[in-house]
Chains A and B, each alone.
Chain A
Amino acid sequence: MSHWIIAPVILPALLAPVIGFVMRHDISLARIASLTGAALVVAIATGLAIAASGGETLVYRLGDWPAPFGIVLVLDRLSALMVLLTSVLALIVLAHAVATGWDARGQHFHALFQFQIMGIAGAFLTGDVFNLFVFFEILLIASYGLMIHGGGRARLSAGLQYVVINLAGSTLFLFALGVLYAATGTLNIADLARIMSTMEPGDAALVRVAAMLLMIVFAVKAALFPVQFWLPGAYANAPAPVAALFAIMTKVGAYAIIRVHTVVFGPGAEATADIAPTWLFPAAIVTIAIGAFGVLGARRLLPMVAFSVVGSMGALLLAVSAFTPAALTAAFYYLVHSTFAAAALFLVADLVLTRRGDERLFALPPTVQNGLFASLFFAAAIGMAGMPPLSGFLGKLLVLDALREPGQIGWAWSAILIGSLLTILGFARAGSTLFWKSTAIETEDTRDQAATPLQLAPAMAALAMLAGLTIFAGPLAAQFEQTADQLLDRGGYIGAVLGAPDAEPPAAVAIEPAASEEE
């Protein structure tokens, strides 16, 4: 069983070169292979989620070298949840790309897509911050290719910006890791957590620098203020299915903040526990405001959706910043919800825009299936804005309910509530312009291709996920509560990864000065 933990990384990694080299001239073969691979990853991720739901932290040691000397993958409830989320989203997005023909507009879409799945799954599974960096680079280098897929002037310029900002972020990541290694002598997350729990606040100056640098790096990925500025340009100019897949990329940053700033630097590490709440809370509030005003002010559809992603990241990280079990439960629920909501919005927007031809928000003659697209957009928009009956409402309710501290309630509640109101206004304006005012224009033009059921299915599947999240909110919230409890249990994580004392090889303990403090 234990070997399955690495399967979500290995399978796409093996599949991608085969697709890239063997099937590059045969798009239908590549499509079959890619879809099969994505479906298999969903099956594996489901199995892993079931395995992790028992509450045990499963550890996979590469080459059977014990941590902290070897590289480990760690599967707990949170990583299993994230891998499952990634695989389901990837399958939906891939189906959309195949059905709408996006994958044939440039070279190597499927190979890059598989590498992207590999990088994301690896980033969620790794138990080592340097490998977190490596998997970040894998998912980024695949995302560079996907971002400029199909080409075009605006897309390439936006892609160049995206590459540059992420390369600068990677450099900062390495600086943070260098500082962290110099200060602690290890980069294994569990070993770092062990060292941090006994570190005196007086000795922690370097570690605090590293914690802050890591937070900035993850904030770049999660599009948190003040480093959110790259996201609207990149997402709005990326191919729509790729932008839908990128909905999980911001969550990689959020996951890294959740993982590193709870297990390593979070509650229980006296020296650094104050950093994340102090900075995350105001940054998240400003992020919500930027997202809301962006949605309200956007004059084109895709930037508007991108700004709503920024706003949802703000709400998510606002919940994370409390670092309580209730707030983390709310954060996980909202994380799953906002991923599917953003993906649904991008996919619906793609269906509309390929027929409309102009993404600026003004009335044009209605496209075919105007009513169908309008209702899909309506459902996705109320999901994203947080209106009942979809899961966005429940997610925001959970977040609000978790932020009841006197110091938080004023800022957090007004930010989320006013932000939601502005988002609703923005989406209502866009929807009425796109679908409603357009019906006033008479047209005889029926050149548009009607969307086939196959093209509609992925967007509907993403919306069905939102509906499922709403219907099964109770059991899921109970699951996420256990996930939060497991995440906050530092001792359990450290014990599971570093193992029982008898598993330690005596020779290795003698080598590493940092390890000699172990029992």
Chain B
Amino acid sequence: MELVIATSIGALTAGGVYLILRLRAFPVILGLALLSYAVNVFLFASGRLAVNLPPVLNKYGDAAYSDPLPQALVLTAIVISFGMTAVLVMVALGAFVESGDDKINVTEDDSETTEAQQ
């Protein structure tokens, strides 16, 4: 199971990074979504991988349990990344409507900024 989780996190991250580097709004949004999936699984795995263990204590015995905290962290992270993706889509849509193309790159107005930085 460790191998499956690790390779899937790796594949999601690699795909996410590749898509972000495409510098167009739609692939970048997808790439960030993939990255957030990767990080959610990663956070989940940070509480150790276990099968069939409840994340709650049983006060009647020494039953094994899995760490509940990463699951709470993942829930928070999912909610936040969902909201952020929604904001990102709206901003990207606004930028697309205003400028007519979906490049996430320095526009001509910014070119002076970039030159100055070199």
Contacts and interface: CB of A to CB of B under 8 A. Distances in A.
Contacts of A130: 73, 76
B5 to A, nearest CB: 12
Interface string A176-187: 011101100000
Contacts of B38: 171
B16 to A, nearest CB: 8
A293 B116 CA distance: 7
A130 B71 CA distance: 13
B52 interface: no
Contacts of B84: 137, 141, 163, 167, 170
B92 A290 contact: no
Most buried by B among A181, A229, A236: A181
A178 B43 CA distance: 5
Interface string A262-303: 000000000000000000000000000010011001111001
Contact of B117 (A137, A159, A177, A232): A232
B99 A299 contact: no
A157 B95 contact: yes
Contacts of B106: 161, 233
Contact of B98 (A145, A152, A164): A152
Interface in B18-58: 20, 25, 28, 32, 35-36, 38-39, 42-43, 45-48, 57
Contact of A163 (B77, B87, B109): B87
Contacts of B20: 164, 168
B73 A177 contact: yes
Contacts of A160: 25, 88, 91-92, 95, 104
A163 B91 contact: yes
A233 B95 CA distance: 15
Nearest to A510: B57
A156 B77 contact: no
Interface residues of A, number: 46
A141 B86 CA distance: 11
A154 B107 contact: yes
Contacts of B103: 157
Contacts of A303: 112-113, 116
A195 to B, nearest CB: 15
Contacts of B88: 160, 163-164, 167
Contacts of A104: none
A158 interface: yes
B110 interface: yes
A152 B98 CA distance: 7
Nearest to B36: A171
Contacts of B87: 141, 144-145, 163
Contacts of A148: 91, 94
B57 A171 contact: no
B2 interface: no
Nearest to A304: B116
Contacts of B45: 178, 182
A174 B77 contact: yes
A175 interface: yes
A153 interface: yes
A134 interface: yes
Given A164-B28, A298-B112, A181 B73 contact: yes
A511 interface: yes
A158 B36 CA distance: 22
A299 B99 CA distance: 23
Given A163-B91, A167-B88, A290-B117, A178 B112 contact: no
A161 B113 contact: no
B73 A294 contact: no
Contact of B95 (A159, A168, A290, A293): A159
B91 A134 contact: no
A164 B27 CA distance: 12
A297 B116 CA distance: 5
A107 B73 CA distance: 33
Contact of A297 (B35, B107, B109, B115): B115
B11 interface: no
Contact of B113 (A153, A181, A233): A233
A443 B103 CA distance: 42
A177 B43 contact: yes
A307 interface: yes
A174 B39 contact: yes
Given A130-B73, A156-B91, A159-B91, 16 more contacts: A148-B94, A153-B95, A157-B95, A157-B98, A160-B104, A161-B105, A164-B28, A168-B32, A171-B35, A171-B36, A174-B77, A175-B42, A178-B43, A181-B43, A182-B47, A303-B116
Interface of B: 20, 25, 28, 32, 35-36, 38-39, 42-43, 45-48, 57, 69-70, 73, 76-77, 80-81, 83-84, 87-88, 91-92, 94-95, 98-99, 103-107, 109-110, 112-113, 115-117
Instruction: Name the 3 nearest CB pairs between A and B, nearest first.
Output: A297-B116, A182-B46, A156-B95
